[in-house]
Structures are given as structure tokens and as C-alpha cells.
Amino acid sequence: MLDESKKTFWDWGFFEIDTNGRLIHVSQQLCEHFNLESSQLTHFNQMLKETSLQKIGIAANSEAIVFGVLNNIPCLLKVFLCSQKGFICQVILKYEESYRQELLSLLNNNEQQKRRKVKRKQRPLSHSYTFEQINGTSSAIEQIKELAARVSRGSSTVLLTGESGTGKELFAQAIHDLSPRREGPFIPINCASIPESLFESELFGYEAGAFSGAGKDGKPGKIELAQNGTLFLDEISELPFITQGKFLRVLQEREIERLGGTGRKRVDIRIIAATNRDLMTLVQEGKFRQDLFYRLLVFELKIPPLRDRKEDILLLADQFIDDFNDEFGLNVKEIDPLLKDWMLNYDWPGNVRELKSFIERGMNIVEGGTLTLDDFFLPYANFPIYQKPQMKELLSLEEEVTNAEISAIERALEETNGDKTLAAEKLNIHLASLYRKMSKYNLK
């Protein structure tokens, strides 16, 4: 059976075959999503068209992505070897019927792509400059980059999932920059940072005199501003429930109406959404609309946490050292082996963002050309990195209260991996209040 760690966030289903192509298992989800009757299926050829067993066999050695058509529905499958010397083929993308042509043209270009892939191995990456900025050579990140590059050609909605600091925003920008919409605007909107009362005017805009305080010329909303480009909805889980319904209508009808307006306007936008929360759980808890969730799940790109791609840690660290060398006018050339060991054994709960701040911290202290454990005040390898200094003497009550508040907020953020909504829940305060306090105390 499929190992939990191999599952993507949204499960379209999978099937398992032996090396001769005989079907061993077809998952319930696959039958449901593709309208298949598992009892009538015995061989791979009956199921998956427009690809071959040989292709699957070759692909499986490197956990590759292959194209196929399952019961007339085009899809992308991730193939990997399973322990019983067979293959697991897991559907990671079910194309909407309207994208069939797009997929078929991709299929026709398959050979060309393979040639490009070989070239890419000789030169690290031949995609646009922005994809090159996404550093990493682990197979996990390479695969996501490849998928993201493919999906960027179309206009399908993309949902980026992954822990905080894994690079979701970077991917959103790279997808836009490689897409046919690259000349159009990329409009980001952070759903966590907009007060609930302003959401609709931010998204939909307003006409003159729509409400007291509305300017005399009115104002276009972010959706309108993204016309012919991409709208990036960051932290989509924070979209208020009522706005979710209104936004869903935009996705379905591709039309908007400004607040206080009378006419509707057609919009041509691509949606990229990102979240570090488990939307499925929020749907089950009644906090996120199920219909919107499915609308967003046309294509999910799950960015793996840094601890699952340890090969990238030192590579990224080198990149950040180069960046900070330029910025700070330093000449650090290497990382001491003990520090390397420490870095490879650390879990990086804040992912690449944490690694970047970590390097920045060391670069502020380093002397000479080698970054060492001493530059982080880490006397020995297992010293907890974020140990807070103990308070020595009693301060004024006001200072003590401030320190206690800061430490509670830091702890809540640590325990929730930086998820502000969860942290606010834990602290039993409003999200807006958490933001205010974080800004007051300059907390990241």
C-alpha cells in the first residue's frame, strides 16, 4: 500500500502494478474520481492510455512524472518503485476537460522535452531566470520545479501548499514569470493581513460614493488590477467565510462587480493561492468552503519542508553566504565542518526562511573567511539554537509584562510553526491583535 509520506495533500487516487503490468490494487479514490470499475480492470493497458509500461518502468527508477489518459481524462501521474518490485502510479493532476488540448500538445512535445531535460542536466537549469532563483538540487525540489514549469504554461488555478518558509511565494512568482501572462501584472494579496471589514473593497474595488469615505473616483479591486495577469492569494485559509462565497462566484463566472456598482465586468485572471494550513481539515471543521476548496484544487504543488531535502541545506547556505558577502562587504568562503554537521542535523522548522536568517545572524558576527559554530554562540553541536537568555534581575512591572507577552507570542508562533491564526487561537486573542503586537514588538 501507499506509504503516507508519498501521498500528496489532495489524493486523486493511485494504482499499483507489477513489473508485467498486472494490476495489483486500484484505490477507491481513483475509481471515484475517474469513474472506473476496479473489478473489470486487470491490466495496466486497459487503464492508462497514451503511455506505455516501458515508459512507466523507466520513469519509476527516478520517481518521475508521466502523462497518461485515464478513462478519457488527461492526467499527470507520479510513478515510483514500490517494495514488491512493482510500481505505484499516483495521479497528481487531473486536467479539466477544457485543458485536454493543452495536455495533448504537451504530449506531442514530449520528446522535445526529454531532450531539454538532458540539456538541463548539463547546465543546472534552462528555465527562466526566476526559476533559477529557486535553488536546490534535491530530487524533491527538482520535481516540483519541473511540475511548476509545466503548469505555468496554462491558466489553470494552482494551489501551493507547504510549511511556512518553504518558498511558496517564490514559486508563485516563478510560475507567473514563465507563463504566457508574464507581461501582465502579478498582484499579490495577503489574506492574513487585511482586516475583515476591508476585504471586499480590497478584492472587488468600489464605485464613487459606495460607502462613506469612498473616494470620489472609486477604486479598482485587486481582482480587476490582475486583469490579463495573475492574482496571488497568499494565506488563502484566512479569507473570511462570506468573502469565500463571493470569490467562488468570481472563479466560476469570471465576472466582478465593484461595491456600490451597477455593471459587471469580465475578468481574465489566473489564480495562484498558497497556504501553510491543511485546507481539508479546515473544510471538515466548517471553516473553509468545500466548493471553493475543490475549485482551487485543479493543481496542487506541495513544496517539501527543508528537513525532507537535506541535500539542499548546504547549497542554500552557500547561496545566502554569497548574497550576504555582497550585501555586507564580507569575504566568507566556507562553512566549518562542525557547523555543517550541526546544520544537517537540525530540523529547520522555519524552513528556508529560517536558514536564511540563521546565515544572516552568523554573517553579522563572523570574523575571517570561515563561518563556524562560534559565530552562532553554539558552544557544542547539540546546543538548542533558540535558547532564550535567562532573565537575571527583576525589572519594572511594565518591562516584565512586556517580556512575558513577547515570550508567549514567540512560543505560540514556534509551536504553530509560524501559523499566525493558530497562534492567535492558542493565545486566545484576535488575529488582528496578534499582528498589532508583533508589529509593536518588531517580531517576525
Ligand X SMILES: Nc1ncnc2c1ncn2[C@@H]1O[C@H](COP(=O)(O)OP(=O)(O)OP(=O)(O)O)[C@@H](O)[C@H]1O
Residue among 3, 46, 1 at smallest CA distance from 24: 1
Min CB(273)–ligand X separation in Å: 12
Smaller CB separation from ligand X, 99 or 171: 171
Grid cell 515508459 — which residue?
55
Residues 267-286 that bind ligand X (CB under 6 A): 276
Binding test (CB under 5 A) with Mg ion, winner from 11, 50, 169, 360: 169
H/E stretch holding 74 reads strand 73-82
Min CB(63)–Mg ion separation in Å: 27
Binding test (CB under 6 A) with ligand X, winner from 18, 96, 169, 278: 169
Min CB(214)–ligand X separation in Å: 31
The values of phi and psi at residue 179, to 5°, are -90, 165
The values of phi and psi at residue 128, to 5°, are -65, 165
Min CB(353)–ligand X separation in Å: 4
Residue among 37, 13, 103, 15 at smallest CA distance from 67: 103
417 binds Mg ion (CB under 5 A): no
Report helix, strand or coil for 370: strand
The grid coordinates of residue 263 equal 455593471
Min CB(231)–ligand X separation in Å: 16
Residue among 108, 119, 104 at smallest CA distance from 74: 104
Report helix, strand or coil for 209: coil
Min CB(176)–ligand X separation in Å: 13
Q: How many CB atoms lie within 10 A of CB 44?
A: 21
Question: Could you tell which of ligand X, Mg ion, none binds residue 107, using a CB distance below 5 to 8 A set by kind?
Answer: none
Smaller CB separation from ligand X, 103 or 352: 352
Question: Could you tell which of ligand X, Mg ion, none binds residue 134, using a CB distance below 5 to 8 A set by kind?
Answer: ligand X
Tell me which residue has its CB nearest to ligand X.
167
Residue among 304, 53, 270, 82 at smallest CA distance from 183: 270
The grid coordinates of residue 167 equal 518558498
The grid coordinates of residue 114 equal 526529454
168 binds ligand X (CB under 6 A): yes
Stretch that binds ligand X, among 47-55, 99-107, 133-141, 431-439 (CB under 6 A): 133-141
Min CB(417)–Mg ion separation in Å: 13
- Crossing angle for the helix pair 139-151 and 168-178, nearest 10 degrees? 40
Read off the DSSP letter of residue 263: S
Min CB(390)–ligand X separation in Å: 29
CB 420 within 8 A of CB 431: yes
Type of residue found at 424: A
Stretch that binds ligand X, among 68-76, 195-203, 242-250, 350-358 (CB under 6 A): 350-358
159 binds ligand X (CB under 6 A): no
Min CB(388)–ligand X separation in Å: 22
Tell me which residue has its CB nearest to Mg ion.
169
Question: Could you tell which of ligand X, Mg ion, none binds residue 157, using a CB distance below 5 to 8 A set by kind?
Answer: none
Min CB(169)–Mg ion separation in Å: 4
167 binds ligand X (CB under 6 A): yes
Stretch that binds Mg ion, among 18-26, 150-158, 161-169, 209-217 (CB under 5 A): 161-169
Type of residue found at 268: D
Find the distance separating the first CA and the last CA of the chain, reported in whole Å: 41
Checking DSSP bridges between strand 14-18 and strand 270-275, what pairing results, if any?
Answer: unpaired
How many residues bind ligand X, per CB under 6 A?
17
Stretch that binds ligand X, among 6-14, 149-157, 168-176, 433-441 (CB under 6 A): 168-176
21 binds ligand X (CB under 6 A): no
Rounded Cα gap, residues 182 and 186, in angstroms: 8
166 binds ligand X (CB under 6 A): yes
Smaller CB separation from Mg ion, 173 or 201: 173
Binding test (CB under 6 A) with ligand X, winner from 356, 362, 375, 423: 356
Question: Could you tell which of Mg ion, ligand X, none binds residue 362, using a CB distance below 5 to 8 A set by kind?
Answer: none
What are the beta bridge partners of residue 22? 43
Query: Burial code of 326-343, b = ≥16 C-beta within 10 A, e = fewer?
Result: eeeebebeebeeebbebb
The values of phi and psi at residue 89, to 5°, are -115, 110
Residues listed for the chain = 444
- Interface mask (CB under 6 A) for ligand X, residues 310-339, using x and -? ------x-----------------------
Residue among 342, 347, 277 at smallest CA distance from 308: 347
297 binds ligand X (CB under 6 A): no
Min CB(349)–Mg ion separation in Å: 16
Rounded Cα gap, residues 152 and 173, in angstroms: 10
The residues binding ligand X (CB under 6 A) are: 134-136, 162, 164-170, 276, 316, 352-353, 356, 418
The residues binding Mg ion (CB under 5 A) are: 169
